Amino acid sequence: MKTLLFIFLSFIYSQDLIVSSDLEYFDPNTTTIISLDITDSSLIGSVISDLNVEINLNGNSGIELLYSRFQLLSPDNIVISLAHGREVGDYPAWDNNDGGILYNTVFDDESPTFIYDGFSPFPGYYYGDQLLSNFDNSSILGSWSLLVQSGYYQAAGEASFTLMFTLEEYGCTDQVACNFDEDATLDDSSCEYAQENFDCDGNCISEIDCNGVCGGEAVIDDCGICEGFNDCLGCTDPYASNYNENATIDDGSCIYGYEESMQFIFEPTSIYNPDNGDTMYYLDIRAQSSTSEVGGIQIEIQDIPNLITFDWYGYTDSAFDFVDINDNGSLSFMMLNTNQEDVSEEEFLLIQLGFRLDNAISEQEYGEIINLILETILVGDFNADPIQPLSNDPIVNIGYKGDVSLDGSINVSDIISGVNIILNDSTPSDYQLWACDLNEDSYNNVYDIILIINLILAN
């Protein structure tokens, strides 16, 4: 016999739940199923942390416990035996002295008293045949049943049961998460967090930089330009020897009364293998002085942040026996002629600087030019009198048209590499495709090979 009973739900406190049934008649010599259907949608996501079961029984003959078995069936079809009589199971069991009444008998795993050690009508808390903890971490939703097995023709009466749940609820337990669930007691790894510098509603909670980026680091330079390089600073006095006609703000660098000068020639250089961050590139600085008495040189160059870093030097003129170089956002190097040897008044190679790429270069930047900003050039003679520095602007070309083989020069290997690309005998990088497209028609074909040959012959 299966009966669907009226369910009474009552929340004791935030996570505890009681489910009770009315008294229901159970027949002799059969198994009666008393069911409770729990369908409350607010309990979705809750799992069992602890379960106690209370049974009340009124037998008709006074021998019901001797001939009966009580089992609990979960929605997941897990069956736990709570207690049984001697006539329907092995010892330990109820015997003929235990009667036919259960009054507020609660099965609780944490009770120190075995059910068969109690006294009729067994009020209070006991542990039963099997542990109710077998239901832990299960959902409470679905049909629960008390199975009352009567094994005697006179064993009949009324029974009811109550399920007392302690619940845990899965959800996000991190209070800083956007989807924090204050009712959750078990974390299910579902926490979602706001993007850096934003709150959970997408509002910026950091400073907005001059590019309009929330939490960005771009700043306005002294010239009022976002991410500028202070290009407007310099000597604005036309009577000074270092007058800068492009400067709009005087930075106090004006120098007067030069008697000698020194010309610095920065040779253009090219980045010819942008996909390899270990490739070393070289910037040659040549010089020619009007005097042989050059005691020291100090140069500062603003490179491009997060793009290139100078970390090597070589081939310095022999007169300069002390050289020190540092790149900490700006390249600074000093050359000293401590023995005061004469410097050639003919043009000579002063120093060769080596740099590497900090980050990969995007395809959109191929063919662009990096303008390195000369921040400072100081030259002094043996008496520490200033020598007028003259200079062109150092530049770095991003890309080297025709250098398909990525060796930094135009030669026959570039013809071979270009032909292999055109005939699909190699898998070129995006940069090699760009370097091979000399006529810039977005195709690689025989026209480009002819132009490479022309470059080789011209050189």
Tell me, yes or no, whether 354 and 276 share the same domain. yes
Mean local confidence (pLDDT), 204-217: 92
Mean local confidence (pLDDT), 139-148: 93
Beta bridge partners of 116: none
Whether residue 341 is predicted with pLDDT greater than 60 in this model: the reply is yes
| 190 assigned to some structural domain | no
Whether residue 419 is predicted with pLDDT greater than 70 in this model: the reply is yes
Whether residue 7 is predicted with pLDDT greater than 80 in this model: the reply is no
Backbone angles phi, psi at 87, to 5 degrees: -75, -10
pLDDT digits over 49-64, tens only?
A: 999 999 999 998 888 8
In this prediction, residue 127 carries a pLDDT of 97
| 188 assigned to some structural domain | no
Tell me, yes or no, whether 320 and 418 share the same domain. no
Tell me, yes or no, whether 17 and 161 share the same domain. yes
Percent of the chain past pLDDT 70, that is, above it, reads 96
Cα–Cα distance for residue pair 336/298, rounded to 1 Å: 9
Instruction: Give the pLDDT band (50/70/90) at residue 93.
Output: very high
In this prediction, residue 4 carries a pLDDT of 35
Tell me, yes or no, whether 276 and 200 share the same domain. no
Instruction: Give the pLDDT band (50/70/90) at residue 131.
Output: very high
Tell me, yes or no, whether 37 and 106 share the same domain. yes
Instruction: Give the pLDDT band (50/70/90) at residue 12.
Output: very low
In this prediction, residue 58 carries a pLDDT of 92
In this prediction, residue 182 carries a pLDDT of 86
Domain holding 447, by residue range, is 412-458
Whether residue 10 is predicted with pLDDT greater than 70 in this model: the reply is no
Q: What CATH number does the domain containing 348 carry? A: 2.60.40.680
| 178 assigned to some structural domain | no
Tokens of 139: 């959902």
Percent of the chain past pLDDT 90, that is, above it, reads 54
Whether residue 147 is predicted with pLDDT greater than 80 in this model: the reply is yes
Do 71 and 85 meet the contact criterion of CB atoms below 8 Å apart?
Answer: no
| 309 assigned to some structural domain | yes
Whole-structure pTM value: 0.45
Tell me, yes or no, whether 387 and 442 share the same domain. no
Mean local confidence (pLDDT), 439-458: 94
Instruction: Give the pLDDT band (50/70/90) at residue 23.
Output: confident
Mean local confidence (pLDDT), 243-262: 85
Tell me, yes or no, whether 130 and 165 share the same domain. yes
Mean local confidence (pLDDT), 286-313: 87
The overall average pLDDT reported for the chain is 88
Whether residue 148 is predicted with pLDDT greater than 60 in this model: the reply is yes
In this prediction, residue 357 carries a pLDDT of 87
Q: How many C-beta atoms lie closer than 10 Å to residue 343's C-beta?
A: 24
Our count of domains for the chain comes to 4
Tell me, yes or no, whether 94 and 205 share the same domain. no
Mean local confidence (pLDDT), 388-395: 89
Q: How many C-beta atoms lie closer than 10 Å to residue 54's C-beta?
A: 18
In this prediction, residue 316 carries a pLDDT of 77
Tell me, yes or no, whether 43 and 80 share the same domain. yes
pLDDT digits over 172-189, tens only?
A: 989 999 999 888 888 888
| 35 assigned to some structural domain | yes
In this prediction, residue 185 carries a pLDDT of 83
pLDDT digits over 349-371, tens only?
A: 999 999 888 887 888 888 888 88
Using the 3D structure, point to which of 398, 426, 447 is the last residue of a domain: 398
Q: Which of 69-73, 78-82, 85-89, 241-245 has the lowest mean pLDDT?
A: 241-245
In this prediction, residue 239 carries a pLDDT of 62
**HSE value, Cβ hemisphere, 13 Å, CA-based, for 195:** 8
| 250 assigned to some structural domain | no
| 247 assigned to some structural domain | no
| 121 assigned to some structural domain | yes
Tell me, yes or no, whether 333 and 380 share the same domain. yes
Tell me, yes or no, whether 25 and 154 share the same domain. yes
Tell me, yes or no, whether 165 and 26 share the same domain. yes
Tokens of 257: 């009364």
